[in-house]
Structure 1
Amino acid sequence: MEFAALREEMVDSLEHDTKAVVQARPTGTAMRAVPRHEFVDAGHRAYTDQAFEHRGTRVLAPSTVGRLVDALAPERGDDVLVVGAGVGYTAAVLAEIVGGEHVHAVDIDRRVVYDARDHLASAGYGDVLVDCRDGADGLPEYAPFDRVLVEAAAVAPPPALCDQLVDGGRLVYPEGATNQRLVAVEGGEVASVHGPAAFAPLLVDGEQASAVERNRTVREDRERAARAAESRAGWEHEWIDWDGR
């Protein structure tokens, strides 16, 4: 109850203070539901509007997460890709809006991926898929996506991410190097600008502490098993085995 009250206060301040950074109702409702203290080991300070450090990366402040999600404008059932898994908090907020099975996150650092998975599972968002790979390559196995959110700055959105959007889909990212702005891209063009931004640049292979590695998850194993079961019956397998002899 204590943390729930702190969440309410946090979101109230983001919605109604002079900044009013959270304006979309789904964003505020989702942030009221997600237990941020499960993602940030800071006790009560998890509900203050401040950023933290985690394994050499920045954990975004709640106001920044709210701005990103507002700009992305996700709807229930949208398939969403988050580039930059972080501690998993943004993915959890999105899961509250679109459903956990529709959220996919990637990060180039394997240790960050492991931590994000643990946090999401502990907070009740185990259906969110988190994988370790170069974010600029996206996640083609699960494309196309209705929404793509990049939590790192780039001069232009990586072509692979644009290619993995559905027609009419939206990509949100911090544009620029030093003087950044948060932009939403639709149809290859900037559709809207959502104020200034200050993000670390999108990493490439070799700039992270740990190597890129493919990590299967329980969800992936379940999905692959289901596809295999649909594609071939047991008797068919036996027939093929015997025929090969």
Structure 2
Amino acid sequence: MDPAVLRGDMVDSLQHDSKGVVQSAWLSAAMRAVPREAFVGEQQAYSDRPFERLGTRVLSPSTVARLLEALAPEEDDDVLVVGAGIGYTAAVLAERVGAANVQAIDITRRLVIDARQNLAKAGYEEVLVDRRDGADGLPEYAPYDRILLEAAAIEPPRALLAQLADDGRMVMPLGASQQTLATVDADGETQRLGSVAFRPMLVEGEQADTVERNRTRREDQEHARRNAQSRTGWEQDWIDWD
């Protein structure tokens, strides 16, 4: 079947009352324009579900729509996407603000390469994709009118807030086990928009293509701290030592 027809059907379903995640005319037009098959392949392009690719989770179209409706970019805004992934979200944004106004970063090198190739194949080669630690942002191109963080964090990363324009907006999954989609302004004021479930933002050494991930080291440090503060056997109240 013609991919354009499948795209139209996908967006129609996202606009239907049963989902209602596409509400803006610009987002409807942008998602109908971006050839998603250039990013994920024809078989998976237009099914509304997440899946794994190169060690990362590819967001479902409905989740992408929720993020971008919350972000609400205006024409010609400067936008930073933290967590470039396969590059699809950046392409949809490029339809709204222009490809040259979109920068995207990812901590995993092979995802950066994949996103660049996908964007070029889809006709958005002007989107800049660079390998960076997401928490550091991309200060060379700041300030940004909009920042989209596609990974969960306990609190808004300070470096990203510092890179927002005075009237800018950041959208991110906020929290750990219990997450909510949130908008954050440059002063750190947040508005919560409903529950979500995203993977946590990675730091250097945790990306999928490293030889040895350091999340275990971080977890070991946390367990050691908790153990140091916990009671040992002879301190437990429930033991009758007499």
TM range (shorter): 0.7 to 0.9
1:139 equivalent in alignment to 2:138: yes
Shift, 1:52, TM fit: 1.7
Shift, 1:191, TM fit: 4.4
Contact 1:80 1:103 in 2 (8 A): yes
> What is the match of residue 191 of structure 2?
192
Instruction: Provide the C-alpha distance between the structure 1 equivalents of 2:86 and 2:105, rounded to a whole number of angstroms.
Output: 11
Based on CA coordinates, which of the two structures has the bigger radius of gyration? 2
SS for the counterpart of 1:65 is helix
RMSD of Structure 2 on Structure 1 (CA): 1.2
Shift, 1:40, TM fit: 0.4
Q: Give per-residue Cα distances to partners, 1:156-196, cap 9 Å, x unaligned.
A: 11100000000010000000001100000113344432221
| TM-score in terms of structure 2 length | 0.84
> What is the match of residue 215 of structure 2?
none
SS for the counterpart of 1:47 is coil
> What is the match of residue 173 of structure 2?
174
Letter in 1 for 2:142: A
> What is the match of residue 39 of structure 2?
39
Q: Give per-residue Cα distances to partners, 1:120-148, cap 9 Å, x unaligned.
A: 00000000000001010000111110000
Contact 1:183 1:190 in 2 (8 A): no
Contact 1:3 1:44 in 2 (8 A): no
> What is the match of residue 74 of structure 1?
73
After the TM superposition, which residues 4-15 of structure 1 pair with which residues of structure 2 at under 5 Å, given as runs? 4-15=4-15
> What is the match of residue 148 of structure 1?
147
Count of aligned residue pairs for this structure pair: 210
| TM-score in terms of structure 1 length | 0.83
Letter in 2 for 1:156: E
Instruction: Provide the C-alpha distance between the structure 1 equivalents of 2:147 and 2:140, rounded to a whole number of angstroms.
Output: 14
Instruction: Provide the C-alpha distance between the structure 1 equivalents of 2:22 and 2:137, rounded to a whole number of angstroms.
Output: 27
Instruction: Provide the C-alpha distance between the structure 2 equivalents of 1:138 and 1:29, rounded to a whole number of angstroms.
Output: 29
> What is the match of residue 28 of structure 2?
28
Letter in 2 for 1:14: L
After the TM superposition, which residues 78-89 of structure 1 pair with which residues of structure 2 at under 5 Å, given as runs? 78-89=77-88
Q: State the identity as a percent.
A: 61
Q: Give per-residue Cα distances to partners, 1:58-100, cap 9 Å, x unaligned.
A: 0000000000000000011000000000000000000000000
Greater percentage in helix: 1
Shift, 1:39, TM fit: 0.3
Instruction: Provide the C-alpha distance between the structure 2 equivalents of 1:151 and 1:188, rounded to a whole number of angstroms.
Output: 20
Residue segments in structure 2 that go unaligned for 5+ positions in a row: 211-242
